[in-house]
Chains A and B, each alone.
Chain A
Amino acid sequence: MQTDSLIYRHNRITRLTHWVNAFALLILFMSGLQIFNAYPNLHWGSKAEPDEVFFSIYATNDDGVIRGYTQLYGWTVETTGFLGIQQTEMGPFPRAFPSWLTIPGYFWLAGGRRWHFFFAWVFALNGLAYFAYSLARGHLRQFLLSLKDATKLFPMALYYLRLRRESPQEGDYNPLQKFAYTGVLFVLVPLIILSGFAMSPQLDVAFNWLPAMFGGRQSARAFHFIVTFLFALFTFGHIVMVATTGVINNMRSMLTGWYAVKATSPEPEPSEPEAAAAEPPPEPTSAPAEVSGKSPEAKAQTEDPSHEEK
């Protein structure tokens, strides 16, 4: 056990909403690709003229030679086997995104829509619960990017790249983390919701500005697709950070709430939550832990600045 001690980093609500969100995003991603497969082209503007495609995944058949291609503006790459054409037991099969990336795994637009719209509700209500809770608890302020933080983005990147000795971090989250979290919560989330809404003919009837703010309904569809992959990029970065900064410890803290910290400074801080935390982790939902989360002292402890998780 040596000098490691356990702190209670993530409370029940954070943990629950985190995993519900992760699951909902996965389903939304995969069912969204199923929906995209029904018309694997993107356009700017209100309408979809076939000769005004800026992104497309398609298949060609030249005398029985079947190939898949992905095109972005004038740039086309062959993606046979992954995008456009998938190798199946029954031979090559034309489909934009492969079956293992879509829900359901066979081509069924109606099914994809059912999953997508159900988990859109899960995503929205879960996100709303998290947002309201964090707002009430003052947690949002901790990772909101300020102008001052913005000036520290570059120094922080230098620090990560080991080109700078000291971290410019003050407080619980470093500037790059704040940038990522603020960007997701206040840019990507509103964009994905609004661009999704903008594709609804019913909502467009009342809110003509909704598709117009993106430049038309087809633009909104393109934004929805692009922002999806920004979410995927964030998730990828998030998983890389979790994996490289102590995967077991990180996973434990998001599953049970308890996170191990090295007692680097000799100064003892035997506050009661710490003492409680030093015990082998009890049930994650144990009462003392919940109480400790509420005392300001414990808060300073539990959100240890030296351990960022991204």
Chain B
Amino acid sequence: MKKNSSGMSRRKILLGALNGAGLLLLSGCENVFNQLHQNQKVLSLLESVEGSNRRLLRSLTGKNKLAQEFSEKDISRYFKPNGNPPPFTGQYVMDAMSGWSFWRLEVGGVVKKPGQFSLEELKAIPGRTQITRHDCVEGWSAIAKWKGVPLSEISKRVQPESSAQYVVFYCMDTDQEGNHYYESIDLHDASHPQTILAYEMNERPLPIEHGAPLRLRVETQLGYKMAKYIQRIEYVASTREIARGKGGYWEDQGYEWYAGI
């Protein structure tokens, strides 16, 4: 221990010196980059490649190729429930306690047949089970088995008008300021066979912390696209009028709408 402590202090001095030198050298640099990052023109330039990324990646991958499906033994022992805390409102708690018997998924927007679905009705539609990898924007991945209704089955029932471009998911959870989570995907991803509204995780009803009673799975994109605690789905021509107009809760705060990277 003694030997260690002297080594520790030398290391501390060394690290301190390194940090000091780095600060002196780069704090100027840091300020420049911070200011550049806050400049709207620079930011727009940086953001301009998002469309190219989407086009390039989608043209490389084509349509309806399936994400890798894993086996039972690959399922994660721990799956981090990220994002907002569950929506502990009176309504939500009551719905959860009643086994979601009063909860309804509302589907509307520019569709020919808007409708409502109970959890039982959703479960009656031929479902899809998939063991897939969830990739968080933070960098971690986790694998789970999901069962749910393909979103294409919902589309088939509500029949979107030709003007529909996006599917918007309105959620029950909120951040500390009370802003509701929401997300949107385009029809390209909405019709992907692995894009499902999941009501089961690892062969059990979707847990509260993972978005009960219903969450989205979009296996071509990052985790923040996969809205939890879904209340309502809307087919829309544009997402510009919704919240801050960027097509999602995190998108409104600077993240890419296209999260295929």
Contact = CB atoms under 8 A, between A and B. Distances in A.
Q: Are A and B part of the same complex?
A: yes
B53 A46 contact: no
Nearest to A112: B37
A118 B46 contact: yes
Interface in B106-154: 133, 135-143
Contact of B142 (A48, A114, A212): A48
Nearest to A99: B30
Interface string A76-115: 0111111000110000000000111101111011110111
Interface in B206-261: 219-222, 250, 253-256, 259-261
Contacts of B91: none
Contact of A205 (B22, B143, B219): B219
Interface stretch (B10-18, B93-101, B167-175): B10-18
Interface stretch (B68-76, B158-166, B177-185, B196-204): B68-76
Given A115-B46, A121-B49, A100 B260 contact: no
Classify chain A: how many residues form its interface, as a range.
Answer: 35 or more
A78 B12 CA distance: 8
Contacts of B47: 114
B31 A105 contact: yes
B15 A111 contact: no
Interface string A100-140: 11011110111101110110010000000000000000000
A100 B30 contact: yes
Interface residues of B, number: 63
Contacts of B259: 201
B138 A199 contact: no
A115 B47 CA distance: 9
Contact of B61 (A100, A115, A206, A211): A206
A216 B140 CA distance: 12
Contacts of A36: 139
B90 interface: no
Contacts of B11: 77-78
Interface in A23-54: 30, 35-36, 38-39, 41, 43, 46-51
Interface string A212-237: 10001110010000000000000000
Given A78-B11, A104-B37, A208-B68, A218 B141 contact: yes
Given A113-B255, A218-B141, A46 B133 contact: yes
B57 A101 contact: no
Contacts, number: 152
B53 A117 contact: yes
B154 to A, nearest CB: 21
B37 A103 contact: yes
A38 B70 CA distance: 26
Given A82-B19, A100-B26, A202 B261 contact: yes
B107 to A, nearest CB: 26
Nearest to A30: B33
B254 A49 contact: no
Contacts of B8: 78
B3 interface: no
B34 interface: yes
Nearest to A114: B46
A263 interface: no
Interface of A: 30, 35-36, 38-39, 41, 43, 46-51, 77-82, 86-87, 98-101, 103-106, 108-111, 113-115, 117-118, 121, 199-208, 211-212, 216-218, 221
Given A39-B138, A199-B261, A200-B261, 8 more contacts: A78-B12, A100-B30, A104-B33, A114-B256, A117-B50, A201-B135, A202-B57, A205-B61
18 contacts: A41-B140, A78-B8, A79-B15, A81-B16, A87-B19, A104-B33, A104-B37, A108-B254, A114-B43, A114-B47, A117-B53, A121-B49, A121-B52, A202-B220, A203-B60, A204-B67, A205-B61, A218-B140
